[in-house]
Amino acid sequence: SKKPVRVAVTGAAGQIGYALLFRITSGEMLGKDQPVILQLLEIPDEKAQKALKGVMMELEDCAFPLLAGMEAHGDANTAFKDTDYALLVGARPRGPGMERKDLLAANAQIFTAQGKALNAVASRNVRVLVVGNPANTNAYIAMKSAPDLSRKNFTAMLRLDHNRALSQIAAKTGKPVSSIEKLAVWGNHSPTMYADYRFATIEGQPVKPLINDEEWNKNVFLPTVGKRGAAIIEARGLSSAASAANAAIDHMRDWALGTKGKWVTMGVPSNGEYGIPKDVMFGYPVTTENGEYKIVEGLEIDAFSQERINLTLKELQEEQDGVKHLL
Ligand code: NDP
């Protein structure tokens, strides 16, 4: 049987953590034959650590055959020791009266410390996914704080936007989500993201002529996908934790196990693709193979798409400028 791998999860006692840990441990992320050791991080606060203990009691009570070990931590420098996968979910939520720059600064502090800890103690091949918001900028900060690790090992979660876009296209066309391929989501995990079905196909047929409705694209599709998180809070009274956890599972599974040529969306550091400045943590269509992602290149960017890409890039650059002095 396979040797266990180490999976670190931060914010492990939070909402997303609760929807995530049981699925990791049942084998939905890394495969039904891959034992895992969970290295769970929560803030050192007594209440959070106690809640984490409660989650761990439930994990024990699932008697998962793949759970090869489990640890609770209050410090990233121990939580990330030798970790092969790190899911950075915990982040500072916006409090009452808190401005965007305060939020950025509070998170910059968390992700600088976590990047340094990964740099110091994680496996040299650690694969990092940042879920905590602002996810792209937090991932950028962690990457910049870990100079000894490859830039390619740091990613941000755009997969929820990708999955939301898939479900909207499926509803519009009346086709199953599983039949849709070659969808791309560009940019920041925020309402400025640009979900782009110009290249998408259903059973090999192009989606664009099937929908053939530019007004729907602009006035229904993009706003629906962009504001879906707020719509769920409005309906449920709580944020979209289960679908966020599901997207994190999808992202890591596809990164680790490969997409067999299918496109998925990941937030990854640019090397200049599509004119995005180097290191900007940008949502791109990618394929993955042997544990590596590859950005899909050579796609034509029309005027409308360029406008949308410029908008989401501008927002990301403003976020990154806002934390530059802290790095
Ligand atoms: P959640 O588990 O609901 O959310 C965690 C983070 O994921 C937030 O930044 C949230 O952003 C983000 N997120 C990304 N996509 C989504 C989505 N689709 N829907 C909802 N959230 C999304 O938060 P909780 O408050 O329940 O739990 C967070 C936990 O993290 C707490 O237990 C806290 O103690 C811990 N924490 C741990 C830290 C650490 O380990 N060092 C540091 C800070 C906090 P948004 O705010 O925009 O909703």
- Regarding the beta carbon of 103 and ligand 1, being less than 6 Å apart is answered no
CA torsion through residues 315, 317, 149, 153, sign: positive
Q: How far is the CA of 294 from the centre of ligand 1 (A)?
A: 28
Task: Enter the pTM of the model.
Answer: 0.97
Question: What residues contact residue 323 under an 8 Å CB cut-off, 6+ apart?
Answer: 104, 105, 108, 137, 141
**pLDDT for position 98:** 81
Q: Is 12 annotated as a binding residue?
A: yes
Find, among 59, 179, 211, 189, the residue nearest to 135 by Cα: 189
**pLDDT for position 103:** 87
Is beta strand 36-41 parallel, antiparallel or unpaired with respect to 67-73? parallel
Helix, strand and coil content of the chain, in percent to the nearest 5, comes to 45, 20, 35
- Regarding the beta carbon of 239 and ligand 1, being less than 6 Å apart is answered yes
**pLDDT for position 96:** 81
**pLDDT for position 326:** 85
Which residue CA neighbors atom 8 of ligand 1 most closely? 132
For residue 134, is the peptide bond before it cis, meaning its omega torsion is within 30 degrees of 0?
yes
Q: Which two tokens stand for residue 265?
A: 């969306």
Q: How far is the CA of 184 from the centre of ligand 1 (A)?
A: 25
Query: Which one is catalytic: 73, 162, 189, 251?
Result: 189
**pLDDT for position 94:** 80
Q: Identify any residues that bridge with 201 across adjacent strands, giving them in sequence order.
A: 181, 206
pLDDT along the chain (327 residues), means of 10: 97 98 98 98 97 98 98 98 98 83 91 98 98 96 98 98 98 96 97 97 95 96 95 94 98 98 98 98 98 98 98 96 89
**ipTM, two decimals:** 0.92
Cα separation of 29 and 277, whole Å? 32
Q: How far is the CA of 233 from the centre of ligand 1 (A)?
A: 14
Cα separation of 144 and 169, whole Å? 36
Residue 189 annotated in active site: yes
CB atoms under 10 Å from CB of 166, counted, come to 23
- Regarding the beta carbon of 90 and ligand 1, being less than 6 Å apart is answered yes
- Regarding the beta carbon of 89 and ligand 1, being less than 6 Å apart is answered yes
